[in-house]
């Protein structure tokens, strides 16, 4: 009883404090509202602009903002980053936020990556291991000055001097191999030779190929050449790369593969393969896309070293998997032969040593700086990045900016000053710090200095021994990052009463461990598709660590998908997908601070972001979307997740989540780091394992067990013996790393025998261990079947293909809350089954704030079946709170009379699933024609749909040419986006139903047909529709280049109008239409269907406000506002800035531009004088902005009220309980 009471207390603590469920849903509190990143750009900051920005945020429904001071690019402003004036403006924002009830957070340093600034001294900067090698002949006294490795910014410290006997390959220089001829199919043959030998910055620059072929280069040797290993230097950023293949041939015609589809990233990449002797070696490089990469120094070696050593020693990122090819004995250094000469070298590097006989390699190991700086920021805000493995360095980074802001804020720290953010980790790897050797011994239990030859790529003792040392080396780096740059950073936040916001991924660490200390863990997702990015990662971190909020950098736009094209209708389905992954706080990317009031878009973050700010034409109408988001986020912040399996991540770092094997659809899973398994996961009763904060699981999945420590196996064994259900992976034969070696290997084998026993994954897949069970070689469907655990959620519609419904389930002490989202661009009717029974399913609509009991539900085998109907991109919360007294089973079916409907014909003439640069792809014409149903097509553009990835590791698009009812058309959708032809064809409703307070069922039928209720059928006829697509007047606001008013005989896109001021109009246009209704027309349900709206509309009927329509379908019930006789319909439609920006390009420039970006976009070079003087554009331009996203002749976007507009009249039927 006490355990249950404690669980209820803990569960209640996860409610958003102080607000009841119904109250919070109707009026979401400030902490449930979305927030935004607030970029202050290039010193263009004003007190007035700060106040107006914050007032606009509060008015439209935001809960707060995170300040990031960056370079845009924009012309420089007067405010210097981290100057006294700058700190004063930050304080002004904090004070104004208190006045408005908003929260302010800040990125912890200038820029968005990562933690640095001009106050960081070299001693506290990021560091890297470095060394030099000197070969000497022994048998005599060695008296030499050892060369010091190159030092970044002249910072260098010695670590150790080690000597060891030469092994095969020491002293080899591939560039001295004679008679090598280099050829290739590169367009610039003068670059081909740089692959073999180069100087300075020379490289072979690879870009897209128009012929669809791979880049190929061939080395021809004069004589057969033995090779066991290769390397290639790749020049690109840290997160870009490509794939390569290497093959060999005796005649230059027939090639045998040595490595295939090998992933390479920026820096020096090395790879091993089975020994071969041949005259020809071919390097094949996959097209890296439009960004391009450089390659050089392709070298082949007749000896072996550790493959991918630069990545495995965390000089860079790459592949960390251990090699499988054993080296030759003459390539291995014996540990006993390594001699520490550190005491024999003085401070100037002079070595005095009586060397034994033989040839030796002397390595002088030291460390210098990585040279990384915080970015992107102004010159006054730029400096070195702090050492992420030093608490003193992290404290130094904090004191330089955040410490001052906290001090200035005083009592507002922890109030309106709410959080400190560590955003994108984009500053590369770090593999040393001042105390690394001592820290390594503290964490791993042995001295690392003796094994430093391994980080040069050499083998010590054996391949396996060396790889395991590297595992320990990387694990130590990961642990120190977590200790200093996460846990200690959190301590600094606590001392200042601030929340710690973190995007803990992309670095040389264990992502889950790095993120477990964040108060608000964050992910990111980019607009332009339905991809949820890594929202699941952020949601998981919050869920397993007992945090209320999971944030995400939301709808980030690239140079193609940004450009003022954003609108809520585009974002709705993607945002709901993100919600279903566990995120419950959008943090929009991005609001560019608007220092001044302008007549156009104003300040932008260059080509990035979806331009979410008060100068966006859509800003006043965002309240509808943000109201939905606030209600949804409030619900998603209640209680805790309901989950069915906890997965344990790998001990081998860098690493992230592990969900192998995945759970089937309808189950939820979470992931934890190894440390959390050891210190947080315990048995929680009834065979469940979980956390002290209350989150429990029926199954633990530990499949990353090829390299595993004895501590982990001891924990798994204890849990299994206590009653846990555990899914195991590969049976280990040795321990992770070298801690406790060699005894640790014996213990791991003994523990593995007790856990795995006789399991082989074939004939024996499950066995009992103590009170629990372990599984091996099975999928999660098998495990859940054995446990008798049914899916938590299912959605069934036998008539639909590509059926896609997402869900999330949270539980409070009083309610089960399911979020259900239709991810398709059309109406979907289905039966949803929930793993809840005995309680009434209530439908809570976050778009409207409406709540009512489900019209029809039944209890079946401990589950609840509910009939649901969701509009395109629609969603609903299904809430189970109240006890039910029997089923409310009303089976409703409606067969629409389509005798008068047009027979639609859709033919796909051409369809390609291809790379976005059109270099590579596949023809999917026949496949899409086979998916056409009833003259319409709906498809998700994904590798899963087409069962193939035609261009691996590159962004793709689906391009389609079609004929619909005799009219040709074409469309393109980005990878993972949804394509529908024609748009919205299935969005017309057939009927609506809802449960009334008296228990009766109200059904409104919108079209002629046959209604069947509980098996009893009746024909239903509805009044005819009233068409309203002709004879409209449209008025425009002053100052936007449009006439005051125009008349439209028939509705059409404003972009098709002959008048330039209308054609290029951006803003809010006012459509007015009068129509007559008779007495018979008034009283019945009436649905106003606006058809195609670009992109938001406010509806007024007879001067009464009916509502804001911000997404498809653009429909609203209006019968309360109608009257007999003359009626006036007013629709205020707001479109995007795009058309006016294109129209302005028809006029002469009124400013100077610089730095062409993607697609020829340009940044403003200097503030024009007319702008500084507050005058209008001298060339007549309307929309002033700091970045050119559009150009003369670009295609205009559909604009305004396009229709068809109609009144759909329905028939109301009431079914008594």
Q: Which pLDDT score is estimated for 399?
A: 98
| Token digits of residue 37 | 């990143």
CA dihedral 1077→1079→1081→1083, nearest 10 degrees, is 120
Q: Which pLDDT score is estimated for 933?
A: 77
Which residues are registered as beta bridge partners of 1018?
Answer: 1011
Closest by CA to 920, choosing from 232, 192, 191, 242, is: 242
Question: Which has the higher per-residue pLDDT, 501 or 187?
Answer: 501
| Token digits of residue 726 | 């555990």
CA angle 941, 944, 945 (to 5 degrees): 50
Q: Which architecture does CATH list for 793-889?
A: Sandwich (2.60)
Which residues are registered as beta bridge partners of 1108?
Answer: 1098
Residues of the chain with pLDDT > 90, as a percent, come to 83
Quickly state the pLDDT bin for 1214 (edges 50, 70, 90).
confident
Return the top range by mean pLDDT from 564-578, 789-803, 873-887. 564-578
Quickly state the pLDDT bin for 932 (edges 50, 70, 90).
confident
SS3 state at 316: coil
> Which helix (H) or strand (E) is 392 found in, with range?
helix 391-400
Residue whose structure tokens are 């109301």: 1212
Q: Which architecture does CATH list for 174-302?
A: Sandwich (2.60)
> Over 90: is that where the pLDDT of 2 sits?
no
Q: Which pLDDT score is estimated for 1027?
A: 96
Quickly state the pLDDT bin for 7 (edges 50, 70, 90).
very low
Closest by CA to 1194, choosing from 1153, 1158, 1140, 1152, is: 1140
Beta-strand pair 1125-1134/1115-1117? unpaired
Ranges of each domain in the chain:
7-120+374-430+439-449+465-640, 174-302, 643-787, 793-889, 906-981
> Over 70: is that where the pLDDT of 1055 sits?
yes
Q: Which pLDDT score is estimated for 874?
A: 96
> Over 90: is that where the pLDDT of 226 sits?
yes
Phi-psi sector, 183: left (phi>0), alpha (psi -120 to 50), beta: beta
pLDDT single digits (tens) 333-362: 999 999 999 999 999 999 999 999 999 999
Distances (CA, A) of 877 to 16, 353, 416, 631, 880: 17, 76, 31, 10, 10
Quickly state the pLDDT bin for 609 (edges 50, 70, 90).
very high
Q: Which residues contact 357 (CB under 8 A, 6 or more apart)?
A: 138, 139
CA angle 990, 993, 998 (to 5 degrees): 160
Average pLDDT, the chain: 93
Distances (CA, A) of 253 to 185, 249, 256, 281: 15, 7, 10, 11
> Over 60: is that where the pLDDT of 8 sits?
no
pLDDT single digits (tens) 107-146: 999 999 999 999 999 999 999 999 999 999 999 999 999 9
Q: Say if CB 192 and CB 373 are below 8 A apart.
A: no
Q: Which residues contact 681 (CB under 8 A, 6 or more apart)?
A: 646, 672, 689, 690, 691, 700, 715, 719
SS3 labels along 804-826: CEEEEEEECCCCEEEEEEECCCC
Quickly state the pLDDT bin for 949 (edges 50, 70, 90).
confident
Which residues are registered as beta bridge partners of 215?
Answer: 285
Of the chain, the end-to-end C-alpha distance in Å amounts to 39
Q: Quick one: average pLDDT of 376-405? A: 98
pTM above 0.85, yes or no: yes
Give the Cα separation of 248 and 227 in Å (integer): 10
> Over 90: is that where the pLDDT of 786 sits?
yes
Question: Which has the higher per-residue pLDDT, 688 or 982?
Answer: 688
Q: Which pLDDT score is estimated for 798?
A: 62
Q: Quick one: average pLDDT of 1152-1165? A: 85
Give the Cα separation of 462 and 459 in Å (integer): 6
Q: Say if CB 227 and CB 314 are below 8 A apart.
A: no
pLDDT single digits (tens) 663-677: 999 999 999 999 999
Q: Which pLDDT score is estimated for 948?
A: 85
Give the Cα separation of 963 and 935 in Å (integer): 10
> Over 50: is that where the pLDDT of 1006 sits?
yes
> Over 50: is that where the pLDDT of 984 sits?
no
Question: Which has the higher per-residue pLDDT, 368 or 199?
Answer: 368
Q: Say if CB 879 and CB 853 are below 8 A apart.
A: no
Give the Cα separation of 151 and 789 in Å (integer): 60
Q: Quick one: average pLDDT of 381-386? A: 98
> Over 60: is that where the pLDDT of 17 sits?
no
Q: For domain 7-120+374-430+439-449+465-640, which CATH number applies: 1.10.3720.10, 3.20.20.80, 3.40.50.2300, 3.50.50.60?
A: 3.20.20.80
Q: Which residues contact 1040 (CB under 8 A, 6 or more apart)?
A: 1061, 1065, 1066, 1067, 1140, 1182
Q: Which pLDDT score is estimated for 236?
A: 87
1152-1158: long-range contacts, CB 8 A cutoff, minimum separation 24: 1153/1188, 1155/73, 1157/559, 1157/606, 1157/607, 1158/558, 1158/559, 1158/560, 1158/607
Query: 188-197, 472-481, 494-503: lowest mean pLDDT where?
Result: 188-197
Q: Say if CB 179 and CB 191 are below 8 A apart.
A: no
Q: Which pLDDT score is estimated for 240?
A: 76
Residues of the chain with pLDDT > 70, as a percent, come to 96
Quickly state the pLDDT bin for 12 (edges 50, 70, 90).
very low
Q: What is the CA radius of gyration of the chain?
A: 33
Q: Say if CB 657 and CB 512 are below 8 A apart.
A: yes
DSSP at 606 = T
Residue whose structure tokens are 């389609």: 960
> Over 60: is that where the pLDDT of 4 sits?
no
Query: 278-292, 695-709, 749-763, 791-805: lowest mean pLDDT where?
Result: 791-805
| Token digits of residue 1052 | 């059409």
Q: Quick one: average pLDDT of 625-641? A: 98
pLDDT single digits (tens) 528-575: 888 999 999 999 999 999 999 999 999 999 888 899 999 999 999 999
Burial of 742 (0-12, 13-18, 19+ CB in 10 A): exposed
Q: Quick one: average pLDDT of 499-504? A: 98
Distances (CA, A) of 805 to 399, 801, 834, 1113: 48, 12, 13, 18
| Token digits of residue 967 | 């009219």
Quickly state the pLDDT bin for 438 (edges 50, 70, 90).
very high
Quickly state the pLDDT bin for 210 (edges 50, 70, 90).
confident
Q: Say if CB 735 and CB 709 are below 8 A apart.
A: yes
Q: Which residues contact 980 (CB under 8 A, 6 or more apart)?
A: 825, 826, 936, 937, 938
> Over 90: is that where the pLDDT of 187 sits?
no
């Amino acid at each position: 009883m006490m355990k249950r009471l404690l669980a209820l207390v803990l569960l209640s603590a996860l409610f958003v404090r102080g607000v009841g469920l119904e109250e919070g849903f109707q009026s979401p509190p400030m902490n449930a509202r979305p927030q935004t990143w607030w970029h202050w750009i290039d010193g263009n900051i004003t007190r007035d602009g700060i106040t107006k920005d914050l007032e606009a945020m509060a008015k439209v429904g935001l809960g707060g903002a995170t300040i990031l001071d960056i370079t845009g690019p924009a012309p420089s402003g007067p405010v210097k980053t981290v100057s006294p004036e700058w700190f004063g403006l930050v304080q002004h924002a904090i004070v104004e936020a208190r006045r408005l009830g908003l929260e302010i957070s800040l990125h912890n340093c200038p820029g968005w990556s990562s933690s640095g600034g001009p106050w960081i001294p070299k001693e506290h900067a990021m560091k890297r291991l470095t060394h030099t090698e000197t070969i000497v002949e022994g048998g005599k006294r060695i008296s030499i000055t050892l060369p010091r490795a190159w030092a970044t910014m002249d910072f260098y410290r010695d670590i150790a001097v080690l000597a060891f006997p030469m092994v095969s390959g020491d002293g080899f220089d591939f560039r001295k191999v004679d008679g090598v001829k280099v050829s290739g199919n590169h367009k610039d043959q003068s670059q081909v030779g740089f692959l073999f030998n180069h100087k300075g910055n020379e490289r072979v620059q690879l870009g897209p190929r128009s012929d669809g072929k791979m880049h190929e280069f061939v080395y021809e040797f004069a004589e057969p050449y033995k090779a066991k290993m290769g390397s290639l230097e790749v020049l690109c950023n840290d997160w870009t790369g490509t794939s390569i293949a290497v093959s060999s041939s005796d005649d230059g015609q027939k090639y045998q593969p040595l490595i295939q589809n090998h992933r390479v990233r920026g820096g020096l990449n090395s790879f091993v393969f089975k020994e071969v002797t041949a005259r020809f070696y071919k390097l094949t490089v996959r097209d890296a896309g439009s960004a391009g990469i450089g390659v050089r120094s392709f070298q082949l070696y007749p000896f072996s070293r550790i493959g991918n050593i630069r990545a495995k020693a965390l000089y860079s990122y790459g592949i960390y998997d251990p090699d499988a090819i054993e080296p030759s004995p003459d390539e291995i250094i014996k540990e006993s032969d390594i001699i520490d000469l550190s005491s024999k070298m003085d401070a100037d590097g002079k070595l005095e040593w009586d060397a034994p006989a033989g040839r030796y390699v002397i390595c002088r190991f030291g460390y210098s700086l990585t040279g990384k700086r915080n970015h992107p920021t102004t010159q006054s805000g730029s400096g070195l990045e702090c050492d992420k493995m030093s608490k003193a360095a992290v404290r130094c980074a904090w004191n330089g900016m955040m410490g001052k802001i906290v001090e200035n804020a005083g009592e507002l720290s922890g109030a309106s000053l709410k959080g400190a953010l560590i955003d994108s980790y984009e500053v590369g790897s770090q593999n040393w710090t001042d105390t690394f050797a001592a820290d390594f011994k503290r964490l791993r239990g042995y001295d690392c200095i003796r094994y430093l030859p391994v980080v040069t790529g050499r083998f010590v003792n054996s391949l396996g021994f060396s790889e395991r040392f590297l595992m320990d080396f990387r694990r130590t780096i990961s642990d120190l990052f977590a200790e200093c740059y996460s846990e200690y950073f959190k301590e600094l936040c606590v001392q200042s009463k601030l929340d710690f916001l973190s995007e803990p991924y992309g670095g040389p660490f264990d992502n889950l461990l790095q993120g477990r200390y964040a108060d608000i863990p964050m992910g990111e997702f980019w607009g332009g598709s339905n991809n949820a990015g890594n929202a699941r990662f952020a949601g998981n971190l919050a869920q397993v660590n007992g945090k209320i909020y999971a944030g995400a950098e939301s709808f980030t736009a690239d140079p193609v998908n940004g450009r003022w094209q954003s609108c809520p209708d585009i974002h709705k389905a993607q945002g709901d997908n993100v919600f279903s992954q566990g995120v419950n706080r959008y943090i929009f990317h991005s609001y560019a601070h608007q220092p001044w009031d302008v007549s156009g878009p104003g300040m932008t973050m260059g080509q990035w972001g979806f331009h979410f700010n008060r100068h966006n034409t859509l800003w006043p109408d965002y309240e509808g979307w943000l109201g939905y988001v606030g209600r949804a986020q409030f619900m998603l912040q209640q209680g805790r997740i309901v989950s069915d399996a906890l997965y344990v991540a790998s001990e081998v770092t860098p690493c992230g989540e592990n969900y192998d094997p995945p759970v089937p659809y309808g189950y939820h899973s979470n992931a934890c780091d190894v440390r959390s398994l050891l210190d947080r996961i315990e048995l929680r009763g009834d065979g469940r394992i979980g956390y002290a904060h209350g989150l429990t699981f029926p199954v633990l999945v530990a499949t990353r067990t090829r390299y595993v420590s004895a501590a982990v196996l001891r924990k798994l064994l204890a849990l299994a013996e206590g009653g846990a259900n555990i899914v195991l992976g590969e049976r280990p034969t040795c321990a992770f790393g070298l801690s406790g070696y060699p005894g640790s290997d014996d213990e791991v084998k003994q523990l593995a025998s007790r856990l795995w026993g006789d399991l082989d994954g074939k004939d024996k897949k499950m066995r009992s261990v103590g009170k629990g069970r372990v599984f091996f070689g099975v999928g999660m469907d098998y495990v859940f079947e054995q446990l008798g655990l049914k899916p938590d959620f299912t959605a069934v519609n036998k008539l639909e293909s590509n059926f896609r419904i997402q869900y999330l389930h949270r539980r409070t002490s009083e309610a089960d809350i399911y979020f259900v989202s239709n991810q398709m661009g059309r109406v979907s009717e289905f039966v949803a089954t929930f793993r809840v029974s005995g309680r009434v399913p209530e439908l809570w609509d976050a778009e409207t704030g409406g709540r009512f009991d489900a019209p029809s539900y039944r209890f079946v085998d401990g589950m609840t079946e509910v009939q649901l109907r969701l509009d395109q991109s629609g969603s609903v919360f299904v809430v189970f709170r109240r006890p039910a007294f029997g089923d409310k089973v009303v089976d409703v079916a409606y067969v629409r009379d389509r005798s008068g409907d047009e027979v639609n014909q859709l033919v796909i003439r051409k369809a390609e699933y291809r790379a976005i640069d059109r270099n590579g792809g596949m023809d999917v014409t026949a496949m899409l024609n086979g998916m056409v149903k009833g003259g319409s097509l709906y498809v998700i553009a994904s590798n899963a749909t087409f069962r193939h990835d035609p261009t691996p590791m590159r962004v793709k698009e689906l391009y389609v040419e079609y004929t619909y009812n005799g009219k040709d058309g074409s469309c393109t959708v980005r990878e993972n986006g949804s394509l529908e032809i024609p748009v919205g064809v299935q969005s017309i409703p057939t009927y609506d139903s809802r449960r009334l307070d008296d228990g009766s069922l109200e059904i409104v039928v919108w079209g002629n047909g046959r209604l069947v209720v509980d098996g009893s059928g009746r024909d239903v006829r509805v009044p005819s529709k009233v068409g309203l697509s002709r004879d409209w007047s449209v008025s425009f606001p002053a100052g936007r280049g449009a006439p005051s008013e125009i008349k439209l005989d028939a509705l059409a896109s404003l972009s098709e109008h002959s008048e330039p001021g209308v054609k290029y109009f951006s803003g809010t246009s006012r459509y007015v239409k009068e129509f007559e209704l008779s007495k018979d027309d008034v009283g019945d349900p009436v649905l106003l269907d606006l058809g195609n709206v670009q992109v938001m509309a406010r509806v007024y009927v007879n001067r009464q406000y009916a509502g804001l329509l911000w997404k498809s379908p653009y429909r609203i019930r209006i019968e309360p506002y109608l009257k007999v006789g003359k009626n006036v319909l007013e629709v205020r439609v707001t479109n995007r800035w795009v058309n006016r920006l294109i129209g302005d390009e028809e006029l002469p420039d009124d400013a100077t531009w610089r730095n062409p970006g993607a697609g020829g976009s340009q940044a403003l070079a200097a503030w024009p004088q007319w702008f500084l003087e507050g005058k209008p554009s001298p060339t007549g331009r309307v929309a002033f902005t700091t970045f050119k996203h559009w150009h003369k002749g670009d295609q205009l976007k559909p604009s305004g009220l396009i229709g068809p507009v109609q009144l759909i009249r329905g028939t109301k039927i009431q079914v008594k309980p």
